[in-house]
Structure 1
């Protein structure tokens, strides 16, 4: 089973993509939280942040496994080469991976207070969502907007997990700025979700937002999500004030979805994959850069 897990991780989780995404999520979002509160005069990564980063890496793997279990019937028709329908792993393998991984994560986060509760809540919510769709068929596969609304809280709860881990490390209480930051990065995820499915001609049987929004509408909605998220972060950082100029760096990642929109408008069959995949890590890297340049310390 362990060897099958290894093959599955290499094929479905793609560490070369997922590790930059999850590690930058932990580092960048925590740095942004530090920038958004005047109570933090200096900041540096610590052991608490290491636990957060490891937790996000493993959690996203477990979510990927649950998604594959949930999508098995669809993948048999549309993506038969994926690990589960192709027979590389079995449902039992993935369920065992989720069970063992969840237990290890809860143990790793034992004693982390609200962060632990948020992690446990996210795990429970994800399992319920998968069970409802697999056993009851809700939400229906064709209800893309409803599916998106059901899935987004998973990312929001993980960002809240990062937030409460930061608050615990700094001995702080939640603030409106912190919660707005969580909302902003959750909205940013819509850019990738919509952008990776922005295509002019979906494959037969493929679920795509273009059937609801149209190709141009899907493309513009993806870019609009990135712009909205960035605007909210700028409001938190207020780089137009004296001494906060490094905050303008968060604008740089917008170049990626902007180029994707331009290429798509010029006739590309779909959003360029490199631009789409790189946007979120670039965004979080910009957050980390701002946090380190404004409040970073080696002491």
Structure 2
């Protein structure tokens, strides 16, 4: 379990983390979401004792992580997959770390097979691709059989097989009673993997809720209608507060009127319905709605690369 009590971190005039009161509980995968600069990395570094809180506290299994006599058996973390001795083989990297807590070759070999690196165990870790480095990072996090697993962007660089493995493996770890904290910007994967969410923005806690509750909280009364009588339905349903969008002929998306009322209207007027579907937002849609005012770094819109920016003069070609 990870417990944060009024956890805060300030860098000069910037309050990177503002009074977090959060408990990351065992038995579920907790997703940690937020825009760039929201305070996620700072929070995870404070959990690991790499950054010191300005105020408040954070406990791992009831005590500060720095006080653990065997840290890698307390919490397994992946913050930067390439933070390793690139001259060592994957196997020797794990053996060296394992020696600090009495983890031997049999567990190292088991983990290398588990993450899919058994065939390259003796290759230099410095030669690994990003995805292979991620796999080695996951193996490193699991080395001490920790009760808490904390991973930052673990699917970054993984192939589809690796992504599917992470998607099924993390819930299996949680089912064993472990505490699993997953940070990622890939909303589609987070929606499939996490059961609980902690969302932050500009250093503030925005949500601490189940995945189902988070999405339900963003649900609107949008309804998709498919009907050869879509035009007539639009006329009958029009009124104050009702909006329509249409992408294809014979389809409408209606907002501002309950789905039951739409069905009753169609039945009363003997109009054909091929589909009448309440629209549930995706995690990405719910997340963007919540964090819209917390995004610090926006990309430009309405620009074409090079427009309005003079290109450097090219040297004349000399035959």
TM-score (norm 1): 0.23
TM-score (norm 2): 0.22
**Larger CA Rg, structure 1 vs 2:** 2
User: Relative contact order (alpha carbons < 8 A, sep ≥ 6): 1 or 2 greater?
Assistant: 1
